[in-house]
Amino acid sequence: MPSANIEEILQRLHSMQAELEAEIDRLLSEKRALFQYSLERGRVHFEQGMRALQRRQRIGLWQYLRQARLGHVLSAPVVYSVFLPFALLDLSVTLYQQICFRIYRIPLVRRADYIIIDRHHLAYLNAIEKFNCFYCSYGNGLIEYMREITARTEQYWCPIKHAQRTPDPHRLVEKFADYGDAEVYHERLKALRKEISEWERKNTHITR
57 lies in some domain: yes
Q: How far is CA 133 from CA 77, 85, 138, in A?
A: 16, 18, 8
Residue 203 pLDDT > 90, yes or no? no
Residue 2 lies in a domain: no
13 belongs to a structural domain: no
The amino acid at residue 8 is: E
| Beta-bridge partner residues of 44 | 39
Q: Which domain holds residue 45?
A: 35-201
pLDDT class for 4, splitting at 50, 70, 90? Answer: low
* Domain annotation covers residue 208: no
Q: What is the pLDDT of residues 75-105, one digit of tens each?
A: 999 999 999 999 999 999 999 999 999 999 9
Provide the domain count of the chain. Answer: 1
Please tell me the predicted confidence (pLDDT) of residue 56: 80
Query: Which range (19-23, 146-150, 195-199) has the least confidence?
Result: 19-23
Q: What pLDDT digit, counting tens, does each position of 41-82 carry? A: 667 777 777 777 777 888 999 998 999 999 999 999 999 999
What pTM, to 2 d.p., does this model score?
0.79
**Does 121 fall in a domain?**
yes
Once rounded to an integer, what is the mean pLDDT over residues 20-48? 72
Report yes or no on 15 lying in a domain. no
The answer to whether residue 23 sits within a structural domain is no
What is residue 40's DSSP assignment? Answer: E
Query: What's residue 130's pLDDT?
Result: 96
- Given this model, what pLDDT does residue 55 score? 77
- Examine residue 85 and state whether it is found in any structural domain, yes or no: yes
Torsions phi, psi for 40 (to 5 deg): -130, 110
Q: Which residues contact 199 (CB under 8 A, 6 or more apart)?
A: 106, 107, 206
Kindly report, residue by residue over 108-142, the tens digit of the pLDDT: 999 999 999 998 889 889 999 999 999 999 999 99
Contact 72, 79 (CB under 8 A): no
